[in-house]
Structure 1
Amino acid sequence: MAQSAAQQEDLLSDAKSLFQQNKFSEADRAVRQYLKDQPDSADGHFLLGHILFREIQAHAMLEAQFQSQAHGPMRSARTMGSNPSPTPDLTAAQEMAKASLAEFTAGARFHDPSADDLKTVALDYVLLVDYPDADKWLAKMLEWAPNDSDGWYYLGRTKYNENRFAEAISAFQKCLKLDPQNVKAEDNLGLSFAGLGRHEEATAAYKQAITWQAQLLAKNPGPYIDLGSLLIDENRPQDAVPVLLQAVEIAPRDSRTHELLGKAYTRTEEFPKAQVELEKAIELSPQIPNLHCMLAPVYRKQGLAEKAKAEYDRCAALTGTHSTPETPRQ
C-alpha cells in the first residue's frame, strides 16, 4: 500500500535525523524507502548523496586519497591522530563516490543544489582522483559561500595536489583569515611554500602551527613531521631529530614518523637507532618498498650482511609491484 504524503515526509524527516546522528546505514535505508515513492524528490537524492559520502568519510578514505596523491617528502596527511588499522579498499570507496555523484546529478534535475551539496560533490571527485573537477566545484561553492573556511581548506588541498602551489597558498590564507589558528591549514600553508622552494616561509608556518597547539593535549603530528622532513632535505638531520622525536611521541603508530626519524639517524650515522626506527616503520607499513630500501644499507653498515641482503631482495620485489598507501593520519 502506498504511503500517505504525511507518512512519506515523516520518513524523510527520520532519514535526516538519523543522518545528523551519524547513523548512516539506518539513514541510507530510510531515504531509499522514501525515494521509492518519491523518485523526483531533490531533497531525497541530495540527502542520499551526502549519506554515501559520509559513509566513505567515516572510513578516512578522503584523507587517505589526499595523502596518496601527494609527492615526495610532502606526502604525509595533515590530519589529527593516528590510525594503525588498514583503511577500506579504495576501489570500493570510489564506487560509493560515483554512487554519491549519481544521486546529486539525479537531484539536480529537480532542484538546484546548495553550496553544501557542491562541497560534497567536489570531495567525491577528490576520491575519484579528478582534481580539476573537484577544483571547479569547490570554486563554485565558494562563490556562494565565501565564508566557508572548510571549503577554502579543501580547495587549498586540491590546488596542492594539482601542484598549483601559489593558488594553494592563497586558499589556505583565506581559510586562516576565517578560522585563525587552524593548525591543519597553517601546516598545509607551509607545505605549499615548500612546494615553491620558499623554505624560510615554510619553516615559519610549521613552527607557527606547532606553537598554536603547544597547550593542547591532542596534538596534530603534521607540522612536526613536515618540519623534520624539511630539515632533513636541508641537510640538517641533527636539528630534525628532536622535532621528529616529538612527532613519534604524538603519533607512535604513524610509519612516516619512524621513517623520517630513521632517515635522520642514518644521516647522523647513528645506525643502531636508525635500525630501530626503520624496523618499526616496516612493522607498521610492510608493503612500502622504500622502507626496505632504506633499512638494507643500515644493516650493511653494521655488518649484518644476511639481513641486508634480505631487505635488498624485499625492496626489489616490492618495487616491481603496486604497494599499498601509507596508513593515513586522521
Structure 2
Amino acid sequence: MKTIYFNKNFSVTSAQIEAVRLEGRFSTLASHSDPDNVMMGAAARRVTEPRGLLGGAYVDWLLDTVKRERPEVFIVGKEAGAVAERRAEFLALGVQPLTVADAPTLRHLDRKDEFLNAWDTATLPVPAWTTFHDLGTFDAGVAELRAHPDFVTGITRLCVKPARGIYAAGFRVLTEGRDLGSFLKGELYQMSMGEAQRLFVQPEQAGDALPTMLLMHTLEGAERSIDCVAWNGRLAAAVVRRKLPDGGPQLIEDRPDLLQAARQIASTYRLSGIFNFQTKDAQLPGGERVPNMLEINARASGGLRYSMAAGINFASLAAGLALGELLPEDAPRPRTGIRVAEVKTALVLE
C-alpha cells in the first residue's frame, strides 16, 4: 500500500489523515515536534520532528525522513516554500512533494498586498483597499477609502489586517467607538478608530516600524470559503461553503461562478494540491450581490472538515492525482444544498 506523508501542520490535518485511513487506499505517515499532537494519533506511522528546525536544516531533515520512510506522496505543511525550492531532491527519492505552487508563487500569494495588486479583477472584483505602515499612512488611507465612491457612511466600514498572516490574526473591523454592549458580547474582532490610532503610533514612538498592513472596505454580505484540489493547473474538485450567521452550520452551495473562478485560479498560478480562497459579497446599488475576492491560501483551510462532509476526500484525491492514478475529471462531484456542522471527538493517544 502506498503512503501519504504529512509533516507538521495545522490541526485540521488530523481530519485529512483520518479520512485517508477510513478510505483504505493509502497508508499514512505523520511527523510533528509534539508527539501528542492529534496528527500523530491519527496516522498509522509517526516520526517526531526535532524542535526549532527551520529553512534548509528542516528540509535536510525531511529529506532524511523521506529516504528512510519511503512515502510516495508528501503533502507539505511546514516550510512549504523551502521544500518547493528543493523539489528536485524529493523527486529524486521517488516522492511527489505537494507544495501547491512553486516557491515564487507561494511568496506572491502569501504577500496579500502584492497578490491584490496583481489580481485580475475580471475573474472576481476586490474591495477597495490600500496599505499603511505607520500612523500617518493609516490616517491618509482612512481618508482615501472614506472618499471612495463605494463607501457609504453608516453602511460600509473599514478593516485592517497584516499583509502577511494566517486565519484572523491581526484582523479588526474599525468602529467609531466601543461601548459596554460590544464588550459584553465579546466582539473580539472590532477596534475603535481611536484604539487603532493609539496602537499604530506606538511603534513610531519606540523607533520601530509596523509590518505592511492592509486597510480595506469591509463588505457586509455573505462570506464564503472555497476548498479546492488541483493538479498541474487543472481543477479537480471545489467545494463552496457559505458561512451562516452566528458561527453555526455552513451551507454547501452550487455556485458555477465560483467554480469557474476556482478553475481560473488553478490555471493562472498552476496549482497542484489542496488550496483555498475566500470571498465576501458586495451589494450593488440595484440589489445584486457580487462575491469579491479576499485572499488565496496555498494550503488547506482551517474549515476543511466542513467541505470534506460534502464527499470529497481532499488528501486522497490529491495523492491519486500526483501519482497519475486519477485525472482531474475523475474527481467526484461534491454534494450541494446541504448544511454541515463540525462535531468534535476525543482521540485516544498511544
The answer to whether TM tops 0.5 is no
**Higher helix proportion:** 1
TM-score tier, shorter chain, comes to under 0.3
Larger radius of gyration: 1
**Higher strand proportion:** 2
Q: TM-score, normalised by structure 2?
A: 0.23
Q: TM-score, normalised by structure 1?
A: 0.24
